[in-house]
Structure 1
Amino acid sequence: MMIRQEEVMLKAQRAMWVVFSRGKLVVQEASQTLPIGHLEELPFLSSYADNIHQLPPLNESAHLSYPVFVVDLGSEHIDEPGWERISLRQLLFSAQDIAFSVIGRAWQYTHFLRTHQYCGQCGAKTERVDWEMAVHCHRCQHRSYPRVSPCVIVSIHNNEQILLAKGVRHKEADMYSTLAGFVESGESLEEAVHREIFEEVGVKVKNLQYFNSQPWPFPHSLMVGFIAEYAGGEIRCQENEIDDAQWFNIDELPNIPPRVSIAGQLIAKTVSLISDK
């Protein structure tokens, strides 16, 4: 059930609305932006009052002038003039000011609620906790929080060139990027870097330098970025993971991710390091 505070805010304040329908975002057709306004300005949401939840604010979204409400329509399709559905990635890459502080976190919140309707310990129905992002089981008192999966992402250079790879999943887009992989249980970030790089392209690296981190909502990753120097080995692409991997001159780069992503930022930083030598 919606808490009373949210009911008051819904009626009295303008808000930003993050509406998910079948895994996509519902946006205004003309501008392809998230709607900002009162609830009555979005009449197609009138039947989903119990599914409207306020997204708890974080420091990254403190600059926003409006509260943010998340609405999960599940598999329902909205057929309303002036509105359309677009992919999460499309809006993330085009709305840099709010992409990762609001949209990405809203999807992780939605994904968490979708996948934790029942207790993983006893199987009973869970209820949403009003004061934090969690669900609680009143039968066995087990409480669940959104999962965060650490993932290393690494840019590799050999003083003059940068190593980029094209994943099997990005074969059709013909996009080359940095190497990345999930951290396994009991493994440090540095150990994951060495293991993933050797598994995916067969080379070894040295002199790891931490770069930055970025939440990545596909579905609940935390990307931890590193820059590394090539230490040896010949490129050998991992079957079923890497379609192609090559050393590229910085003035002859292939199609790469946009700078809104940490992969694009890593590539830009590495290119800068090579240029300064």
Structure 2
Amino acid sequence: MQEGISLPEIEKVNEEGNSASFVISPLYPGYGVTVGNSLRRVLYSSLKGAAIYALEVQNASHEFSTLPGVKEDLIQIILNLKQVRLIIHEGEDAVLKLKIKGPKEVTAADISASASVEIVNPKQPIASLSKTGKLDMELKVNRGMGYVPTEIKENREFPIGTISIDAIYSPIKKVNFDVEPIRVGEMTNYDKLMLDITTDGTIKPTEALTKAAAILIDHFNLIKNYQEKAVAKKGKAKAEADKNKKLAANKTDFKSQKIEEAGFSNRTTNALLNNKVKT
């Protein structure tokens, strides 16, 4: 603990569904915004999740296609699929199937998923089918981080007929924080940080907060241990240089070495000396 700066306490003051509120206090003056903004940025950008990143639709080769008997066009269906939140329990990717005939209001519950994939919002609407309508599609999902637009995946090769879509991996829907002054002894300028976190249901708010804090700690530890690692690296380089210098000093100059000191047999040594080879 830094001398003169006491550590605060954290309390979960409210939790309802996928939302929770936390209070962290008392924080040293100015630390409320520092801690709150850091956690908010990491929560939005650096937590892993799973999302649909591509799909193949029968009788549709691009996202501007329309399907007979389906009320929504393919763009609207893709927007609905982006809202499907899921968890991949094993592996990094999976393939899901959606094959259904109308009349029906199609939801995420109609997606056929393997045992390793869990859909957490099965009531999410996908499309409305008339009596003649049908949907037959293959959904490709994987694990990732943050938000990955289609443009970033342009260099990735997809099979013909595969439609790439923006992937929303972040499990965080909303993060807000507020800072209020709080009294500590006679000081009235300490900070109270109030943090509100809403997730998509694939992770609990408390777990999201602890994971974000762990990511920040890992990065700050790199800075904390910088001097120690720099000294160790410098010492290693010096030891290597000393070793090479010693090897160079001990290296024999064979061109100036006498024949008698070269370690040849007596017969070879005499033959060389008789031929006036002395070094």
- TM-score, structure 2 as length reference: 0.21
Higher relative contact order, structure no. (Cα contacts within 8 Å, ≥ 6 residues apart): 2
Of the two, which has the highest radius of gyration? 2
- TM-score, structure 1 as length reference: 0.21
